[in-house]
Amino acid sequence: MSIHDLALIERGIAQRARLLDALLADLYGPQRLLALRLVPSELVFGHPDFLWPAHGLVPHMGRWLHACAADLARTPDGRWWVLADHTGTPFSAGRALMNRDIIRQLLALMNPDEEPLAVVLRPGPGNEARFRYGDMAHQPGIPLAAGHDLSVRDDTLFLKTPAGLKRVHCILRCLEDDCCDPLELRSDSALGVAGLLGVVRAQRVLLANALGSGVLESAAWFGFLPGIAEHLLGESLVLPSLASWWCGEAEALQYVLEHVDDLVIRAVFPNQHFGPVSGRSIAGAERDRLIARLRARPNAYVAQEHMEAAATLPVCAFQRGGAGSGEWVLAEPQPWVPAP
Condensed to tens digits (0 to 9), the pLDDT of residues 106-135 reads: 666 666 567 889 898 988 655 554 545 555
Q: What are phi and psi of 245, to 5 degrees?
A: -130, 115
Same domain assignment for residues 120 and 190: yes
Q: Is residue 138 part of a domain?
A: yes
3-state secondary structure of 81: strand
Closest CA to 19 of 326, 225, 239, 323: 225
Same domain assignment for residues 110 and 179: yes
Q: Is residue 121 part of a domain?
A: yes
What is the structure's pLDDT at 277? 96
CA angle 267, 190, 275 (to 5 degrees): 15
Number of domains in the chain: 2
Torsion-angle region of 242 (φ positive above 0: left; ψ -120 to 50: alpha; else: beta)? beta
Closest CA to 281 of 258, 301, 256, 306: 306
Same domain assignment for residues 185 and 252: no
Q: What is the DSSP letter of 335?
A: P
Q: Which of 83-87, 112-116, 131-135, 172-176 has the lowest mean pLDDT?
A: 131-135
What does the mean pLDDT of the chain come to? 86
Same domain assignment for residues 204 and 249: no
Q: Is residue 29 part of a domain?
A: no
CA angle 174, 175, 178 (to 5 degrees): 145
Q: Is residue 105 part of a domain?
A: yes
State the CATH number of the domain containing residue 95. 3.40.50.11290
Q: Is residue 63 part of a domain?
A: no
Determine how β-strand 156-161 pairs with β-strand 150-153.
Answer: antiparallel
Same domain assignment for residues 179 and 101: yes
Q: Is residue 23 part of a domain?
A: no
Mean pLDDT of 161-181: 91
- Grade residue 164 by pLDDT with cuts at 50, 70 and 90: very high
Q: Which residue has the higher pLDDT, 340 or 331?
A: 331
- Grade residue 335 by pLDDT with cuts at 50, 70 and 90: very low
Which range marks the domain in which residue 120 is found? Answer: 90-208
Same domain assignment for residues 275 and 200: no
Q: Is residue 261 part of a domain?
A: yes
Q: Say how far residue 89 (Cα) sits from the centre of its chain.
A: 7
| Domain final residue, candidates 208, 232, 256 | 208
> Do 243 and 208 touch, CB atoms closer than 8 A?
no
Distance CA 242, CA 103 (A): 33
Condensed to tens digits (0 to 9), the pLDDT of residues 43-79 reads: 999 999 999 999 999 998 888 998 888 999 999 888 9
Distance CA 190, CA 181 (A): 9
State the CATH number of the domain containing residue 300. 3.30.1490.270
- In the chain, how many H helices and how many E strands? 9, 16
The pLDDT > 90 percentage for the chain reads 60
pTM of the predicted model as reported, rounded to 2 decimal places: 0.88
| Domain final residue, candidates 208, 235, 262 | 208
- Grade residue 104 by pLDDT with cuts at 50, 70 and 90: low
Mean pLDDT of 35-40: 97
Same domain assignment for residues 118 and 185: yes
| Domain final residue, candidates 161, 187, 208 | 208
Same domain assignment for residues 201 and 252: no
Q: Is residue 75 part of a domain?
A: no
Question: Does pLDDT of 41 surpass 80?
Answer: yes
